[in-house]
Amino acid sequence: VQLQASGGGLVQTGGSLRLSCAASGLTFSSGTMGWFRRAPGKEREFVAAIRASGGNTFYTDSVRGRFTISRDNAKMTVYLQMNSLTPEDTAVYYCAASGQRVITSMLRNPNGYPHWGQGTQVTVSS
């Protein structure tokens, strides 16, 4: 399984970025996809997740209303549209994948996802 994340970069406060994560080697259309992030000096935290059909999405409170997770099963790609970015969003962002449904109680837990991408840096300047 390979997950290739891209789209990170440097942006000013209030700006936008769209992260992409291209997957291969797993049953993408059946699995749950997630985004996590790790800020400097902090533990990895859940950002967003999306079910196989794309109909159910989940967000951590700090990004709800600003970030949107989506997926294109035909392209085996998951996206994270990030708007109204603040310096608190600065982190390395990781995409995570499971080839099957992740139960709701594990959606926000990194242990719910067996596959991880390499991470992409997002830096928001003030």
pLDDT digits (tens, 9 = 90+) for 91-109: 999 999 998 999 999 999 9
Name the band, by pLDDT with cuts 50, 70 and 90, for residue 29. Answer: confident
Cβ atoms of residues 90 and 39 within 8 Å = yes
**Residue at token pair 């998951």:** 78
* 104/99 Cα distance (integer angstroms): 15
Q: Which residues lie closer than 8 Å to 46 by C-beta, 6 or more apart?
A: 34, 36, 60, 107, 108, 109, 110
Instruction: Count how many Cα atoms sit within 13 Å of the Cα of residue 63 in the half-sphere of its side chain.
Output: 25
Coil/strand/helix, residue 112 = helix
